[in-house]
Amino acid sequence: MSSDPSNPVRVRFAPSPTGALHIGGARTALYNWLYARGRGGQLVLRIEDTDRERSTPVNVEQILDALGWLELDWDEGPISQADRADRHEEALQKLVDAGVAYRDSATAEDVAAWKEEHGNRGYRGTPTDDAGAAVRLKVPDEGDTLVADEIRGEVRFPNAASDDFVIARGDGSILYNFAVAVDDADMGITHVIRGDDHLSNTPKQLLVMQALGEEPPRFAHLPLLHGPDGKKLSKRHGAASVQELREAGYLPAAVRNYLALLGWGTQDDTTIMSTDELIERFDIADVGRASAIFDEQKLRWLNGRFMREMDLDAYTEVVARHLGREPDERLRAACEIAQEKAQTLEEVWPLIGFLFEEPETDEKAWRKVMKDGALPLLGDALEALRGVEVFEPAVLEASLGRILAERDVKPGKLYQPIRVAITGTSVSPGIFESLAVLGRERSLERIERAVQRLSTDRGGPTSR
RNA sequence: GGCCCCGUGGUGUAACGGUUAGCACGCGAGGUUUUCAACCUCGUAGCGCGGGUUCGACUCCCGCCGGGGCUACCA
């Protein structure tokens, strides 16, 4: 686990630049980061800003933003591939001059035809002088290209089955498998940790590095992530990107913990870990080989654990940021009584909203709770609340408790009507705490209103 | 078609050539309780299939089945 300071670990992460940071990509980034941090190295980003084929808008900012939210830090690699063009051209020329790459005018159809004739073998082209032809790398006919994968072990790819693949288009622009190999070498990348879908690309990149005479990095290919239906994870599976996770009210620390556990586990069954502990314990060699399904339920649970363990100031802070409010005293008081109940930041407001604005009454809850007996009990409650010395939970509990004894009713008979009266719903923080934070004046107001409505309903046509 | 990867309960995982196959989420039951949560207790459910190797396979080998990836002048 020790790192050689003269040869620092540099792991690189290359997210797809076409949109939001996908959850699978986030896990890859996290593993890269944990591994780098655990070795005293750094995470290096390589983002392609060119996407000519699909012509989708490239959104680098969005990805950097998501990584920042996850609280991962990085070293910026080449963001603009245009800036790398000279270097790519140079490497390409070197290979052509050395005769390990050659121009070939064959088109995709030509290659298909060639395979028709030669069977399922790797395509081998015919060198041409045509300067407008694509450049292909020569792949040996014999032997295997060996990928020494940190997770999969040694994987062999027979060279004979591999095409002389195109590394530069006819117009001179270079292709991905060539560009990454050159960039990784130039950036001094020591480890490439990425999705399984790149395993088959690895021999190509290895071949390029070999031809260039560069020392290849170590590779680790992670199992892919799928949605609950077993299909590739996508939008229709709910939250599929880091941005959506943030909007749903998850905490970065919880997301890191959860993502780390998606493909990796500890031998002693530890589940909840701080990020320092993750860094300490994580090793890429321990990552599993089977693809995993992203299931939000466990994330919710884990997030709830993290939220409950925060200290009140920090909690108030993140809640305020999520709600776009000021973390003032009132919000702090609201957070205090709601903290143990919410699993995500999104769930906080429904619990405390009644403290900030007039609640809308949940009619279903009203009908369920405002039954016979509610009216006189609410009357008693009003009286008790008016007469109470200080509006504090313990005092309120004692005072309202006396009504229970006098009337000989179960607690729910009294507390649920009060709850619905002041919060509008049957689900809220503790009733005494809720009353205390809401304050005497507004509590009385809302209960009076409920009493009024109850009285009216009784005499109305809907009563029996 | 060719090449490659993968297969432990519903989900994420742990372990091991020999254990009653562990833990967590979920789910179910009970407890606690002013609602909902939280918390506590108990429970539920798994080694894809078939051959080998072995005294003994979830574990090693082969085949099959199933899932996935690559097979672009995409990244």
Residue pointed to by tokens 């040869």:
A7
Are A141 and A160 within 8 A, CB to CB? Answer: yes
Q: What is the pLDDT of residue A49?
A: 64
Kindly list the averaged pLDDT for each block of 10 residues, start to end, along chain A of length 464.
61 80 93 95 82 55 91 83 87 95 93 88 92 94 93 92 94 92 93 93 96 95 85 68 94 97 93 95 94 92 96 96 96 96 96 95 91 89 93 94 91 94 95 96 95 76 43
Angle of the A431-438 helix axis to the A411-423 helix axis, nearest 10 = 40
Beta bridge partners of A144: A158
Say which nucleotide is closest to residue A232, CA to C1' distance: B68
Nearest protein residue to B23's C1' (by CA)?
A269
Q: Round to a whole number and report the distance in Å from the CA of A14 to the C1' of B3.
A: 25
Q: What is the β-pairing status of strands A225-226 and A134-137?
A: unpaired
Q: Sign of the C-alpha dihedral, residues A319, A320, A325, A331?
A: positive
Cβ atoms < 10 Å from Cβ of A167: 27
pTM given for the model: 0.91
Q: What phi and psi values does residue A47 have, to the nearest 5 degrees?
A: -120, 125
Q: What is the pLDDT of residue A455?
A: 86
Q: Round to a whole number and report the distance in Å from the CA of A105 to the C1' of B3.
A: 25
Active site annotation includes A235: yes
Q: What is the pLDDT of residue A58?
A: 59
* Amino acid present at A256: R
Give the integer Cα–Cα distance in Å for A403 and A381: 8
Helix (H) or strand (E) holding A221: strand A218-222
Give the integer Cα–Cα distance in Å for A222 and A199: 9
Say which nucleotide is closest to residue A228, CA to C1' distance: B11
Of A138, A232, A235, A341, the active-site residue reads A235
Q: Round to a whole number and report the distance in Å from the CA of A24 to the C1' of B15.
A: 27
Nearest protein residue to B74's C1' (by CA)?
A53
Question: DSSP letter at A241?
Answer: B
In angstroms, the first-to-last Cα distance of chain A is 78
Q: Please state the length of chain A.
A: 464
Q: Round to a whole number and report the distance in Å from the CA of A13 to the C1' of B66.
A: 32
Closest CA to A355 of A377, A335, A327, A383: A335
SS3 A114: helix
Say which nucleotide is closest to residue A110, CA to C1' distance: B73
Nearest protein residue to B10's C1' (by CA)?
A228
For strand B, the positions having any atom within 7 A of a protein Cβ are 1-8, 10-15, 22-26, 33-39, 67-75
Q: How many CA atoms lie within 13 A of A277 on its CB side?
A: 12
Q: Round to a whole number and report the distance in Å from the CA of A347 to the C1' of B38.
A: 15
Q: What ipTM was predicted for this assembly?
A: 0.93
Question: Tokens in use for A223?
Answer: 């199992």
